């Protein structure tokens, strides 16, 4: 038996910021939706009802007018630092995962200079020059990829503490004339990983990432408004929802299984699955397909905590926010126990899929 201690990446603090502005479905009753340049003939009430049935999203959150992405990211980061009870100057890396930078209200222009991680470091007044701050642009799976990067840094001996932020203000880059825009939301989550020596495996045990850009890179892109009369110099978040759904349901389970195989575990060993809150129906289909890979017909109850119905899809922020809420007992019937295994997985623009296996 190997009694040698090994270095692992362990979660020591989490934080989130959930905007107070609740945007229910009836907020879109007066919207004018277009598709292929033509105004949709269906009544908005019918469109909204069908949308909710498919996605399970009843409301979403939008940031206050004066807040930008780096602002809410710094809020979540401070909450994680407070939760960990550490000196902020002991952070070795700040990794900010996002896709659109800072976008001011009504501007539709992305600001990434300096990197949002640098803005957070400035906002938190971290003066240690050895705390390196940079961003990751990786679609919705960005926060998981940032966590994988943190694991590499810690296991290489380069870092003892890494702060990974996932934050987005999608309300600033959505097309008001596109019904798919009702999916998207704003929010921020942050997690601090710390190096721990242990004889028994703990923390991040394994991970797997795949990119399918050659064939599927255009499923999520920036494009013109659906309204042919709108300003066509602006671009907005656009997705091919049907093909994205099919891609995710087929491929995400395979990536999760690869991560589990690397850890020497089965899906039956997992007590919690933290999946990107993309679309309720899609996430349910992904889980069913994952269990089918193990010849199991039914997904166990109380395995997958969900926030999609009341927080919407805030891209990179969904999983760290979900983790923070579960850790702090704010999701009914879910809690984390020491010694339990969890899987974290996401899919998004690129198209990228990733997953890591974690032991609490």
Q: What is the pLDDT of residues 93-138, one digit of tens each?
A: 999 999 999 999 988 889 999 999 999 999 999 999 999 999 999 9
Which residue, of 134, 166, 198, is where some domain finishes? 198
pLDDT value for 282: 95
Q: What is the pLDDT of residues 49-77, one digit of tens each?
A: 999 999 999 999 999 999 999 999 999 99
Q: Name, in order, each residue with C-beta under 8 angstroms of 267's C-beta and a sequence gap of 6 or more.
A: 256, 257, 260, 290, 291, 293, 294, 296, 343
- 233 and 331 both lie in a single domain: yes
| Position 271 in a domain | yes
| Position 42 in a domain | yes
- 75 and 139 both lie in a single domain: yes
Integer Cα distance of 302 and 333 in angstroms: 7
Which residue, of 198, 233, 258, is where some domain finishes? 198
Which residue, of 168, 198, 228, is where some domain finishes? 198
- 180 and 270 both lie in a single domain: no
Q: What is the pLDDT of residues 125-178, one digit of tens each?
A: 999 999 999 999 999 999 999 999 999 999 999 999 999 999 999 999 999 999
| Position 129 in a domain | yes
Q: How confident is the model at residue 2 (pLDDT cuts 50, 70, 90)?
A: low
- 76 and 213 both lie in a single domain: no
**Mean pLDDT in residue range 281-285:** 95
Phi then psi dihedrals of residue 233, to 5 deg? -90, -15
- 159 and 106 both lie in a single domain: yes
| Position 87 in a domain | yes
| Position 61 in a domain | yes
Q: Name, in order, each residue with C-beta under 8 angstroms of 129's C-beta and a sequence gap of 6 or more.
A: none
**Mean pLDDT in residue range 40-54:** 94
Torsion of CA 130, 132, 133, 139, to 10 degrees: -160
Torsion of CA 222, 224, 225, 228, to 10 degrees: -170
pLDDT value for 233: 83
Write out the residue range of the structural domain in which residue 218 sits.
203-359
pLDDT surpassing 60 at residue 324: yes
pLDDT surpassing 60 at residue 1: no
| Position 307 in a domain | yes
This prediction has a pTM of 0.95
Count how many domains the chain has: 2
Torsion of CA 86, 89, 95, 99, to 10 degrees: 100
| Position 1 in a domain | no
- Identify the CA nearest to 191 among candidates 310, 91, 331, 264: 91
CA atoms within 13 A on the CB side of 315: 29
Q: Name, in order, each residue with C-beta under 8 angstroms of 316's C-beta and a sequence gap of 6 or more.
A: 97, 98, 99, 138, 140, 141, 142, 143, 166, 167, 168
Q: Name 161's bridge partners.
A: 194
The one-character DSSP state at 300 is: P
**Mean pLDDT in residue range 39-56:** 94
- 136 and 224 both lie in a single domain: no
Q: Are strands 93-98 and 161-169 parallel, antiparallel or unpaired?
A: parallel
**What does the mean pLDDT of the chain come to?**
96
Query: For the chain, what is the radius of gyration of the CA atoms?
Result: 20
Report yes or no: 174 and 103 within 8 Å, Cβ to Cβ: no
Q: Are strands 186-198 and 161-169 parallel, antiparallel or unpaired?
A: antiparallel
Instruction: At 319, list the tokens.
Output: 């999983």
pLDDT value for 230: 85
- 187 and 216 both lie in a single domain: no
pLDDT surpassing 90 at residue 205: yes
Q: What is the pLDDT of residues 219-264, one digit of tens each?
A: 999 999 999 988 778 899 999 989 999 999 999 999 999 999 999 9
- Identify the CA nearest to 164 among candidates 276, 274, 63, 14: 14
The CATH number for 150's domain is 3.40.47.10
- 233 and 248 both lie in a single domain: yes
- 59 and 178 both lie in a single domain: yes
- 119 and 67 both lie in a single domain: yes
């Amino acid at each position: 038996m190997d009694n040698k201690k090994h270095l692992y990446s362990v979660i020591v603090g989490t934080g989130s910021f959930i905007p107070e502005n609740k945007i229910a479905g009836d907020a879109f009753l007066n919207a004018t939706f277009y598709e292929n340049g033509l105004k949709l003939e269906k009544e908005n009430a019918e469109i909204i009802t069908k949308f909710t049935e498919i996605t399970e999203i009843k409301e979403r959150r939008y940031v206050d007018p004066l807040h930008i992405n780096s602002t809410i990211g710094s809020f979540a980061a401070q909450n994680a630092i407070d939760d960990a009870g550490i000196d902020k100057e002991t952070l070795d890396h700040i990794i900010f995962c996002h896709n659109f930078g800072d976008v001011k209200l009504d501007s539709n222009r992305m600001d990434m200079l300096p990197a949002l991680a640098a803005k957070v470091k400035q906002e938190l007044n971290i003066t240690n020059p050895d705390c390196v701050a940079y961003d990751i642009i990786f679609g919705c799976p960005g926060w998981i990829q940032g966590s994988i990067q943190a694991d590499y840094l810690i296991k290489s001996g380069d870092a003892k503490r890494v702060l990974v932020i996932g934050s987005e203000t999608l309300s600033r880059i959505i097309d008001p004339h596109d019904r798919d825009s009702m999916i998207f939301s704003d929010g921020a989550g942050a997690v601090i990983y710390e190096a721990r020596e242990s004889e028994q495996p703990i923390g991040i045990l394994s991970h797997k990432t795949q990119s399918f850009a050659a064939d599927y890179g255009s499923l999520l892109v920036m494009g013109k408004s659906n309204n042919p009369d709108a300003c066509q110099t602006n671009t907005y978040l656009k997705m091919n929802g049907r093909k994205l759904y099919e891609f995710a349901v087929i491929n995400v389970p395979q990536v999760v299984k690869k991560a589990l195989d690397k850890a020497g575990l089965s899906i039956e060993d997992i007590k919690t699955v933290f999946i990107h809150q993309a679309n309720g129906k899609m996430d349910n289909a992904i889980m069913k397909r994952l269990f089918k890979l193990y010849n199991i017909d039914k997904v166990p109850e109380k395995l997958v905590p969900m926030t999609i119905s009341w927080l919407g899809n805030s891209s990179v922020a969904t999983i760290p926010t979900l983790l923070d809420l579960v850790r702090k007992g704010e999701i009914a019937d879910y809690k984390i126990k020491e010694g339990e295994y969890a899987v974290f997985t996401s899919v998004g623009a690129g198209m990228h899929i990733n997953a890591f296996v974690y032991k609490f």
